Amino acid sequence: MTEPRIWTAALIVIGDEILSGRTPDKNISQIALWLNVQGIRLKEVRVVPDDQAAIVEAVNALRARNDYLFTTGGIGPTHDDITVDAIAAALGVGVVVHPQARAALEQYYATRGGLNDQRLRMARVPEGADLIENRLSGAPGIRIGNIFLMAGVPYIAGEMLEALNGALDGGRPLLSETVGCWVPESEVANLLADTEKAHEGCQIGSYPFFREGRVGANFVVRSTEPAILHACIDDLARRLKARGFDVVLGEI
Amino acid sequence: MTEPRIWTAALIVIGDEILSGRTPDKNISQIALWLNVQGIRLKEVRVVPDDQAAIVEAVNALRARNDYLFTTGGIGPTHDDITVDAIAAALGVGVVVHPQARAALEQYYATRGGLNDQRLRMARVPEGADLIENRLSGAPGIRIGNIFLMAGVPYIAGEMLEALNGALDGGRPLLSETVGCWVPESEVANLLADTEKAHEGCQIGSYPFFREGRVGANFVVRSTEPAILHACIDDLARRLKARGFDVVLGEI
């Protein structure tokens, strides 16, 4: 069997508010889950400050070695929104006002005080870019080459993801199933490793927790092959039961 | 005035569960806030999979250019816990069982089924490492050089941070104050930029929101200098009021 091609993406989260701890990030998991539905695997994430050199370094490192690169943050109208300029600098292209973005902003602000110079900043794109629709706030996302610039505000980023649904080439999604078990993971570490070895094409992750005074763990099996996945999860549940542990199909 | 030295840290979040979207990360903001209290600035974060080459690359890139490097995840007893081996590989040192870690685990597991080979994995450290106390689960964190290996489970990572309180050299904390305002940020983008320019040593971040059918934004001023920070936030509030906007001291 030839290995199926794996499509990968990287994400750059741009913003001092994440690095200062002020704003807990919500885009990493949102984009990871969305990518997986598209058959694309999130391979790496970097969080960088509102600093052009830092953004450029991350963009150039990640865009070359992944099929897709997403960014969140820094595409608004204020002085700390420098993502468009940084991406243009990374690509060595200029920044232009996109006529469709200008039109969308004119329409959006027609009943909201009118388009001014500050708002027009949100129509600026790296030269050669296309727009990603945003029905919520008038300011579009931006696509240039394999780079996708999304809003930082999670619900607007989510809306932009929706506009991209099905638009990107991908491969087989990484499937996962979980068995939960009331056991300290350290009692079954060898069992987990042996089970993973017995099922090529599967990875098993162990995620321990402590709840209601009891120790347990969720064991997540991941594979792109449904048949292999099911065989592995069944085998894992069987082995855990054979050792006398309480097993729950699905997450505890 | 000479610029005060800024102490920096980087963070590597290790784990397939974050990149798959299964587990929303909570350690970035927790560690960012803790670092700031120590007078250390979180400069960059990378999220990498449970893959030794990826971890080694990130470790070697970040440990050299920051005062401190933190990692979360991958220090448990199971086969997917490869952080210790990856850090040792990055540093070119061996992996040894730390006698104090073994003793701590022996004590912890004395009433919990005893120490076995799988649990003993949690006593393995890169050669030359010291331990970071963990009163919650027996498995210590690890310090080697400027690298700090923390648990992935957020409340255990938090406990390890507590054990490090005040132990690291730092500089002046980055202070911040916020004014909230019921205004679309695009109406005051120039005002924000002008205010920032008028107060050297301050950065102003703009964080828009949409609530109860209204648009607003929190403007966060950051500086290491209390006097400069207060002058800037006062000036910003004054300018916003002069334009007729509702201003709230503190976050909306």
Question: Quick check: B2 pLDDT over 80?
Answer: no
What does the pLDDT look like over A76-101, one tens digit per residue? 999 999 999 999 999 999 999 999 99
pLDDT of residue A190: 95
The region, left, alpha or beta by phi > 0 then psi within -120 to 50, assigned to residue B226 is alpha
Confidence of residue A222 (pLDDT cuts 50, 70, 90): very high
Question: Quick check: A3 pLDDT over 80?
Answer: no
* Chain A residues close to B13, C-beta within 8 Å: 45
Do the chains contact at A45 and B19, CB–CB below 8 Å?
yes
Those residues with Cβ within 8 angstroms of residue A252's Cβ, 6 or more apart along the chain or in another chain: A180, A181, A182, A209, A211, A216, A218
Disruptive mutation site among B78, B187, B192 for chain A (greatest number of A CBs within 10 Å): B78
CATH hierarchy code of domain A175-249:
3.30.70.260
Chain A residue with minimum CA distance to B78: A189
Residue B131: enclosing H or E segment and its boundaries?
strand B130-132
Q: What is the largest CA-CA distance in chain A?
A: 70
Q: Are A142 and A73 in contact (CB under 8 A)?
A: no
What does the pLDDT look like over B8-22, one tens digit per residue? 999 999 999 999 999
Q: Is A150 exposed, middle or buried (0-12, 13-18, 19+ CB in 10 A)?
A: buried
Q: What is the interface pTM, i.e. ipTM, of the complex?
A: 0.94
Q: Are A87 and A74 in contact (CB under 8 A)?
A: no
Query: Nearest CA of chain A to the CA of B46: how many Å?
Result: 4
What does the pLDDT look like over B70-118, one tens digit per residue? 999 999 999 999 999 999 999 999 999 999 999 999 999 999 889 999 9
pLDDT of residue B241: 96
Residue A89 to residue A95: CA distance in whole angstroms: 9
Do the chains contact at B77 and A24, CB–CB below 8 Å?
no
pLDDT of residue A2: 64
Do the chains contact at A19 and B189, CB–CB below 8 Å?
no
pTM of model > 0.90: yes
Neighbours of A7 (CB within 10 A): 19
Do the chains contact at B32 and A18, CB–CB below 8 Å?
yes
What is the count of residue pairs from A and B with beta carbons less than 8 Å apart?
A: 195
For domain A7-164, the CATH architecture is: 3-Layer(aba) Sandwich (3.40)
* Chain A residues close to B112, C-beta within 8 Å: 184
Query: Nearest CA of chain B to the CA of A137: how many Å?
Result: 10
Q: Are B108 and B116 in contact (CB under 8 A)?
A: no
pLDDT of residue A109: 92
Do the chains contact at B189 and A78, CB–CB below 8 Å?
yes
Do the chains contact at B22 and A176, CB–CB below 8 Å?
yes
The length of chain A, given as a count of residues: 252
Kindly state the tokens that stand for A113.
């005080």
Residue B32 to residue A21: CA distance in whole angstroms: 5
Nearest neighbour of A28 by CB, restricted to B25, B80, B210? B25
Q: What share of chain B in percent tops pLDDT 70? A: 99
Disruptive mutation site among A80, A83, A155, A204 for chain B (greatest number of B CBs within 10 Å): A80
Query: Nearest CA of chain A to the CA of B179: how many Å?
Result: 14
Asked whether the domain spanning A175-249 has the same topology as the one spanning A7-164, the reply is: no
Chain A residue with minimum CA distance to B174: A20
What does the pLDDT look like over A127-139, one tens digit per residue? 999 999 998 887 8
What does the pLDDT look like over A59-80, one tens digit per residue? 999 999 999 999 999 999 999 9
Q: What is the largest CA-CA distance in chain B?
A: 69
Do the chains contact at A77 and B189, CB–CB below 8 Å?
yes
Q: For chain B, what are the domain ranges?
A: 7-164, 175-249
Query: Nearest CA of chain A to the CA of B127: how many Å?
Result: 23
Residue B187 to residue A114: CA distance in whole angstroms: 10
